[in-house]
């Protein structure tokens, strides 16, 4: 019976509002719909709806206890509690209201405006004007959760004489705004404009950051965000302290088939008072058609210490690159130009390969007559030094002005089949290498060679399944290979640092670049073991060694690949269901003398994310390392509770017996505020970089479009943070 009465009331409401709309001689508006438990139409053309009233006008939805509609005046008198949702993230709550028939104009008493379920604006009185503007008088604004049973004020609020919300521009305008922390006023602004939380991009000030540095003093950064159309924006950040006057910037632009981002800074400071200092970093990528992609990366700085002094980057070599490439399933093409600038105080840019041009082509075919896979690879590279001196003025064994051009072509046929449980992989091929060397008094100007190569690899995988669901896999492997040729008399500019790991155990050449190759007969022997437990943990282990007919003189001592027998390679990792993971790799000889070792352990759960690493690399004059490297590092974060998070990063040089860098931070974040503080210490010292300590402090008020991103916890009533 109640449902029948409600349906009848709905029909009467629709009929009445339809007749009114037909008689009105105004601009057509979307039809109105009224639903209520009870609807009465009086003789003087007044409609009275009561009991769970709902009204719809376009996207706008209104709920109230009662509505009285005066057709002669065209007004709605509404009794609360009232809720008006415009369908675009704005909700108005009020005790009582008098509105126009289309809900676009009118007066609301005891009203609150809620934007995007984040920002609350509570006022004594609210006016709706033209369906676009909402004016609130004697207003308190906050994004903090307000609990009725908690007498305390929110953590922060902005009190204003008047606030105007522009729904079209999605902006908030404050008159006589005063920011409060609890009940304590912080600062006053006669006029203030802020974007509402439904707006993704808006010009205006972002939240400032306070920074203190032993090099630059104490200062403040005040970013200003500028929108330039729908696809571009610019952020300018003045950084003012008693030691520096800096302007930082970031420019972003999106294109139909690409994007660019540039960031940089310009400074005048007391560290180098006579110099204009600055840097520029930029990246971009564009689709060129036919699957080609253009990418660029720009890295420029005014001096070697600027990036470190201001904390913009830890890089000690800058590389700018322009690349055109295409990646397809069976083909890869690349053409690139790279410019390198060193920031190390023991290197001279004039003597380093600073301009590099490289072209790559990789293609694979699947011949039906032979079976298997045929690969063709070609690479051309030129690197130039700024110096023209063919001699060695600094005594490092490298000609100061040596320029090198090389071309490498390799053709391979590969085939894999299974015979009696063995996986047999065969490889046959031919390599052609040609070099041109200029401005070097030691090496010939040209050299070339054609080298055949062949390899056969045998694997015998063995699998065991235990009744408890545990699976184990053991796979011994052996590879016999041959690379012909006598080797070229060319300088080593690219393969100066060689790594021996499980990834290149079965390759024919373990040099990182084709400017040199391993020659002669060689055998690679190894085995892999893996275990998978249904309880959630797994482990794997790899061991291997390379044995040669003749030693390779181009390998360094610490590479583990010198001599007739390489060092033993041992690598493995374990993962547990509780979030614990351990991984390590080591190279050691027959006397268990370790050349290189690295270990990493980490533990992650809902509250903890920590990790620690240890690295050991033996001394090696061939790699310009007169002393061994022994370093311990730690990184982690701890979620103290729902709102507090602490993090720590620390790196300790065991050889020097001192810390290299350290950083600690703590942050508080909830639904309405984020506060973060950090301290960073750099202990390293050189002729261009000085030890320094930096303190940072930021406060972000959530609820505006300028807030800091990221997940936030919402406080529960009765459990607010002290």
Per-domain boundaries in the chain: 2-195
Beta bridge partners of 424: 417, 458
* Per-residue pLDDT at 721 exceeds 70: no
Residue whose C-alpha is closest to residue 163's, from 171, 148, 173, 155: 173
- What value does the mean pLDDT take over residues 620-631? 89
* Per-residue pLDDT at 169 exceeds 90: no
Residue whose C-alpha is closest to residue 304's, from 316, 286, 320, 319: 316
* Whole-number pLDDT of residue 266: 97
Is-contact 353 340, C-beta < 8 A? yes
- What value does the mean pLDDT take over residues 255-271? 96
* Whole-number pLDDT of residue 70: 82
Q: Note the helical H segments in 304-459.
A: 306-310
User: What tokens does 705 get?
Assistant: 């479009």
Entry pTM: 0.82
Which of the four pLDDT bands, split at 50, 70 and 90, describes residue 130?
Answer: confident
User: What tokens does 299 get?
Assistant: 């890295």
* Whole-number pLDDT of residue 715: 64
* pLDDT tens, residue by residue, 411-446: 999 999 999 889 999 999 999 999 999 999 888 899
Q: How far is it, in rounded angstroms, from Cα 400 to Cα 397?
A: 9
Which of the four pLDDT bands, split at 50, 70 and 90, describes residue 711?
Answer: low
Name 105's Cβ contacts closer than 8 Å, sequence gap at least 6.
99, 128, 129, 130, 131
**Count of alpha carbons within 13 Å of 672, Cβ hemisphere only?**
20
- What value does the mean pLDDT take over residues 309-322? 93
* Per-residue pLDDT at 164 exceeds 70: yes
- What value does the mean pLDDT take over residues 53-64? 84
Is-contact 249 281, C-beta < 8 A? no
* Whole-number pLDDT of residue 712: 58
* Whole-number pLDDT of residue 561: 93
Name 645's Cβ contacts closer than 8 Å, sequence gap at least 6.
637, 638, 639, 666, 667, 669
Q: Write the Ramachandran bin of 440: left for phi over 0, alpha for psi from -120 to 50, otherwise beta.
A: beta
**Count of alpha carbons within 13 Å of 499, Cβ hemisphere only?**
9
Which of 67-71, 223-227, 279-283, 640-644 is most confident?
A: 279-283
* Whole-number pLDDT of residue 685: 62
Q: Which residue has the higher pLDDT, 572 or 76?
A: 572
* pLDDT tens, residue by residue, 7-43: 444 444 443 444 344 334 444 556 667 788 888 888 8
Q: How far is it, in rounded angstroms, from Cα 363 to Cα 334?
A: 12
Look up residue 623 and give its DSSP letter. G
């Amino acid at each position: 019976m109640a449902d029948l009465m409600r349906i009848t009331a709905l029909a009467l409401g629709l009929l009445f509002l339809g007749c009114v709309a037909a008689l009105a001689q105004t601009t057509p508006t979307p039809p109105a719909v009224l639903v209520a438990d009870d609807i009465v139409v009086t003789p003087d053309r007044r409609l009275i709806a009561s009991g769970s009233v709902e009204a719809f006008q376009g996207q706008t939805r209104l709920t109230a206890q009662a509505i009285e509609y005066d057709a002669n005046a065209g007004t709605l008198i509404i009794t609360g509690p009232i809720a008006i949702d415009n369908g675009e993230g704005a909700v108005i709550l009020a005790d009582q209201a008098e509105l126009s028939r289309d809900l676009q104009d009118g007066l609301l008493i005891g009203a609150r405006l809620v934007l995007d379920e984040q920002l609350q604006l509570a006022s004594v009185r609210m006016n709706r004007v033209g369906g676009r503007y909402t004016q609130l008088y004697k207003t308190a604004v906050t994004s903090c959760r307000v609990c009725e049973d908690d007498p305390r004020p929110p953590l922060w609020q902005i009190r204003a004489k008047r606030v105007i919300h522009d729904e079209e521009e999605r902006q908030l305008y404050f008159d006589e705004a005063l920011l409060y922390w609890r009940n304590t006023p912080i600062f006053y602004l006669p006029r203030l404009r802020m974007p509402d939380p439904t707006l993704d991009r808006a010009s205006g000030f972002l939240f400032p950051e306070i920074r203190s540095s032993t090099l630059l003093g104490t200062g403040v950064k005040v970013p200003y965000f500028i929108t330039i159309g729908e696809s571009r924006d610019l952020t300018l950040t003045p950084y003012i302290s008693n030691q520096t006057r800096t302007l930082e910037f970031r420019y972003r632009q999106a294109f139909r088939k690409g994007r660019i981002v540039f960031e940089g800074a310009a400074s005048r400071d007391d560290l180098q008072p006579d110099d204009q200092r600055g840097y520029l970093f930029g990246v971009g990528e564009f689709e060129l058609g036919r699957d080609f992609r253009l990418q660029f990366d720009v890295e420029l700085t005014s001096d070697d210490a600027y990036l470190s002094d201001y904390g913009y980057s830890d890089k000690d070599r800058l590389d700018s690159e322009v690349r055109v490439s295409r990646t397809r399933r069976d083909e890869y093409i690349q053409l690139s130009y790279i410019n390198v600038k060193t920031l190390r105080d023991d290197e001279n840019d004039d003597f380093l390969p600073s301009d590099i041009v490289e072209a790559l082509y990789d293609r694979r075919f699947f011949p039906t007559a032979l079976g298997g896979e045929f690969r063709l690879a070609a690479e051309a590279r030129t690197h130039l030094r700024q110096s023209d001196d063919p001699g060695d003025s600094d005594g490092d064994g490298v000609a100061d002005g040596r320029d090198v051009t090389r071309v490498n072509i390799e053709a391979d046929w590969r085939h894999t089949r299974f015979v009696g449980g063995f996986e047999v992989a065969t490889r046959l091929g031919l390599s052609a290498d040609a070099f041109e060397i200029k401005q070097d008094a030691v090496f010939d100007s040209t050299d070339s060679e054609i080298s055949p190569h062949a390899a056969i690899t045998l694997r015998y995988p063995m699998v065991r399944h235990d009744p408890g669901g545990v699976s184990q896999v053991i796979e011994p492997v052996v590879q016999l290979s041959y690379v012909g040729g006598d080797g070229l008399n060319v300088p080593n500019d690219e393969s100066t640092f060689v790594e021996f790991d499980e990834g290149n155990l079965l390759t024919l050449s373990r040099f990182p670049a084709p400017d040199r190759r391993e020659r002669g007969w060689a055998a690679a022997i190894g085995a892999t073991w893996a275990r998978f437990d249904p309880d959630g943990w797994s482990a794997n282990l790899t061991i291997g060694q390379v044995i040669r007919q003749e030693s390779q003189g181009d390998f360094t001592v610490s590479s583990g690949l010198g001599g007739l027998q390489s060092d033993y390679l041992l690598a493995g990792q374990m993962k547990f269901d509780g979030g614990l993971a351990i991984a390590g790799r080591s190279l050691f000889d027959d006397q268990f003398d370790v050349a290189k070792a690295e270990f990493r352990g980490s533990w992650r759960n809902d509250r903890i994310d920590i990790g620690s690493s240890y690295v050991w690399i033996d001394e090696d004059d061939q790699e310009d390392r007169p002393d061994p490297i022994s370093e311990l590092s730690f990184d982690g974060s701890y979620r103290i509770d729902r709102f507090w998070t602490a993090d720590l990063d620390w790196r300790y040089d065991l050889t020097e017996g001192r810390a290299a860098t350290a950083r600690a931070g703590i942050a508080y974040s909830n639904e309405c505020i984020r506060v973060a503080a950090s301290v960073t210490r750099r202990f390293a010292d050189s002729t261009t970089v000085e030890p320094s300590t930096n303190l940072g402090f930021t406060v972000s008020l959530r609820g505006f479009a300028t807030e800091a991103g990221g997940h936030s916890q919402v406080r529960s009533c009765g459990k607010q943070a002290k």
